[in-house]
Amino acid sequence: MEIIIVVVLVITLALFFDFTNGFHDTANAMATPIATGAIKPKAAVTLAALLNLVGAFLSTEVAKTISGGIIKEGGGGVQITPGFILAGLIGAIVWNMATWRFGLPSSSSHALFGGLIGAAIVGAGFGSVDFAVFTSKVLLPAIAAPLIAGIGAYLCTRLAYAITRRKGEGRTAHRAPFKYGQIFSSSLVALAHGTNDAQKTMGVITLVLVSASMQEPGTGPHLWVVVTCAIAIAAGTYVGGWRIIDTLGTKLTTVKPAQGLSAETSTAAAILASSHLGFALSTTQVASGSVLGSGLGRKGADVKWSIAGRIASGWLLTIPAAGLIGGIAAGIAHFGMVGIIIDTIIAVIAVLWIYLSSRTVEETDISNLDTVAEAVNIRGRKRKLRKNRNRKRAETKRIAEVKAAEAEAKAADRAEAAESEVKPAVRAEDAAGAVPAAETRAADTTSANPTVPTYKAPNDEGEAK
């Protein structure tokens, strides 16, 4: 009975990890087309979720690499128990959420590998890990794939700008079609993401079923495992995509359509080829390598190697950090069912705390592509919008000053008009009062000089009366 409970817990946590993988990596596919305006955010998120769902059904080679490759199981190999697989998942989920919360460059895939390897070493020793498979199908592709994708994006960007070069003075290059091509290229990236990343969760669920003797060693994932993992990553992509919409105005990288098309095409090609060969890639690293390459392919780009080094150090830190957390959880799992319950409670509290604390932060990085853009000096939407905001503020201030000056001029005109109306009224009143005053002065003069003869007007007969 206990083994069934543990298996159910592992499957639940694995699907939750698949969900977090979806919203953690949504921007890998849709950051550039949204930033260039090739597709609306809501449409982009919905399209990415649907293509993640479809991509999960295209292959199971990566799932087989995890279930019967990196961690040895059955068929003469070291048997790792479901409790230690649970501990590995806890390490991956906690590190995944922590890097999402603080905006650190990381890989969900490498977090999963690190957590499982750390838990397997603590739980069953170094012999439980097949380091040859880990090196050939995880470590080497992690180094080669971003380089290949970056070089491909660089060459594609150079070619795109060479084809659309201005011909003559005063003529602008016609690069608008690249924007519409991004819809197709970003769709390929979303499809490739579902193909590669969803299979990692399928591999974990298959691994726990084999370890619990519920499935034969060496067999691939069952259909119900494929379906549930596909739905989980699609749901995570859709839900996590709204975070892109909320922070689109301040966080997403602005790239030119030619760069975006080149980066996305190179990313999709590298991931799809690797999925076919069973290489468990980090889609974040491949997408970031493509953005670096496309940034360098554009004339005038310069690399800030200090930031590029910080990105690389973040990637290198993911596997050992997640392995450390997974190893600690595996140490607790040694206490049996009690330890597994303690691990689960601690994991739930940690995830809830990280999520709730992220809601109190105004700005949280949603994509590692933001950091990559800083490394190649690609202008960000944040800087562009700040410039537009400052321009609007200056324009608003100028308009307010003009309105204030107009209001002051109108007030002065009204005061002058009122004053001009008052002066004629005063002059008319003065003129009306001038006649009585003259008569009064005349009367006063007559009374003062009685000897002066009074003039009498002649009558009709010419005689004086």
Read off the pLDDT of residues 230-284 as tens digits, 9 standing for 90 and up.
999 888 888 765 555 444 333 444 567 777 788 888 888 888 888 877 787 777 7
Query: Is residue 275 situated within a structural domain?
Result: yes
Cβ-Cβ contacts under 8 Å for 448 (sequence gap 6 or more): none
The domain containing residue 10 runs over which residues?
2-164+178-379
The reply to whether 293 and 344 lie within a common domain is: yes
For CA atoms 383, 384, 389, 395, give the dihedral sign: positive
Query: Is residue 147 situated within a structural domain?
Result: yes
State the amino acid at position 216 in one-letter form.
E
Which of 24-38, 177-191, 400-414 has the least mean pLDDT? Answer: 24-38
For residues 48 and 252, what is the distance between their CA atoms, to the nearest angstrom?
Answer: 17
What distance lies between CA 271 and its chain's CA centroid? 22
Query: Is residue 450 situated within a structural domain?
Result: no
For residues 204 and 12, what is the distance between their CA atoms, to the nearest angstrom?
Answer: 11
Residue whose C-alpha is closest to residue 190's, from 365, 372, 57, 25:
25
Query: Is residue 460 situated within a structural domain?
Result: no
The reply to whether 367 and 420 lie within a common domain is: no
Residues written for the chain: 465
The reply to whether 329 and 416 lie within a common domain is: no
Please provide the average confidence, as pLDDT, over all residues in the chain. Answer: 75
Residue whose C-alpha is closest to residue 100's, from 39, 22, 162:
22
Query: Is residue 420 situated within a structural domain?
Result: yes
Give the alpha-carbon dihedral of 41, 43, 45, 50, to 10 degrees.
-170
Query: Is residue 250 situated within a structural domain?
Result: yes
**Looking at 216-282, which runs of residues are DSSP E strands?**
none
Which of 58-62, 240-244, 338-342, 453-457 has the least mean pLDDT? Answer: 453-457
Residue with more model confidence, 294 or 253: 294
**Looking at 236-339, which runs of residues are DSSP E strands?**
none
What distance lies between CA 269 and its chain's CA centroid? 23
The reply to whether 285 and 432 lie within a common domain is: no
Query: Is residue 423 situated within a structural domain?
Result: yes
For residues 376 and 307, what is the distance between their CA atoms, to the nearest angstrom?
Answer: 9
The reply to whether 192 and 267 lie within a common domain is: yes
pLDDT tops 70 at residue 186? yes
For residues 402 and 407, what is the distance between their CA atoms, to the nearest angstrom?
Answer: 9
pLDDT digits (tens, 9 = 90+) for 46-101: 888 898 888 888 877 777 777 667 777 555 544 678 888 899 999 988 988 887 77
| 9, 125, 355 from 198: Cα distances, Å | 18, 28, 22
For residues 326 and 92, what is the distance between their CA atoms, to the nearest angstrom?
Answer: 7
Whether residue 339 contacts residue 332, with contact meaning beta carbons closer than 8 Å, is answered with yes
Q: How confident is the model at residue 415 (pLDDT cuts 50, 70, 90)?
A: confident
Dmax over CA atoms of the chain, in Å, equals: 165
Whether residue 61 contacts residue 199, with contact meaning beta carbons closer than 8 Å, is answered with yes
pLDDT tops 60 at residue 436? no
Write the burial class of residue 430 (CB in 10 Å: 0-12 exposed, 13-18 middle, 19+ buried).
exposed
Neighbouring C-alpha atoms within 13 Å toward the C-beta of 448: 6
For residues 296 and 262, what is the distance between their CA atoms, to the nearest angstrom?
Answer: 12
Percent with pLDDT over 90 in the chain: 9
- Residue-level pLDDT at 228: 93
The reply to whether 304 and 285 lie within a common domain is: yes
Domain-ending residue, one of 331, 358, 379: 379
Whether residue 234 contacts residue 22, with contact meaning beta carbons closer than 8 Å, is answered with yes
For residues 59 and 276, what is the distance between their CA atoms, to the nearest angstrom?
Answer: 7
For residues 239 and 220, what is the distance between their CA atoms, to the nearest angstrom?
Answer: 29
For residues 90 and 329, what is the distance between their CA atoms, to the nearest angstrom?
Answer: 7
The reply to whether 192 and 242 lie within a common domain is: yes
Query: Is residue 170 situated within a structural domain?
Result: no
The reply to whether 29 and 126 lie within a common domain is: yes
Whether residue 93 contacts residue 9, with contact meaning beta carbons closer than 8 Å, is answered with no
The reply to whether 232 and 325 lie within a common domain is: yes
pLDDT tops 60 at residue 195? yes
For residues 129 and 118, what is the distance between their CA atoms, to the nearest angstrom?
Answer: 9
pLDDT tops 60 at residue 302? yes
Q: In total, how many domains does the chain have?
A: 2
The reply to whether 322 and 404 lie within a common domain is: no
For the chain, the C-alpha Rg in angstroms (whole number) is 40
- Report for 99-108, 174-183, 262-271, 353-362: range of highest mean pLDDT: 262-271
The reply to whether 398 and 360 lie within a common domain is: no
For CA atoms 68, 26, 228, 11, give the dihedral sign: positive
Token pair belonging to 97 = 């959420």
- Residue-level pLDDT at 465: 39
Per DSSP, helices labelled H in 334-380 are 337-358, 368-375
pTM above 0.75, yes or no: no
The reply to whether 85 and 148 lie within a common domain is: yes
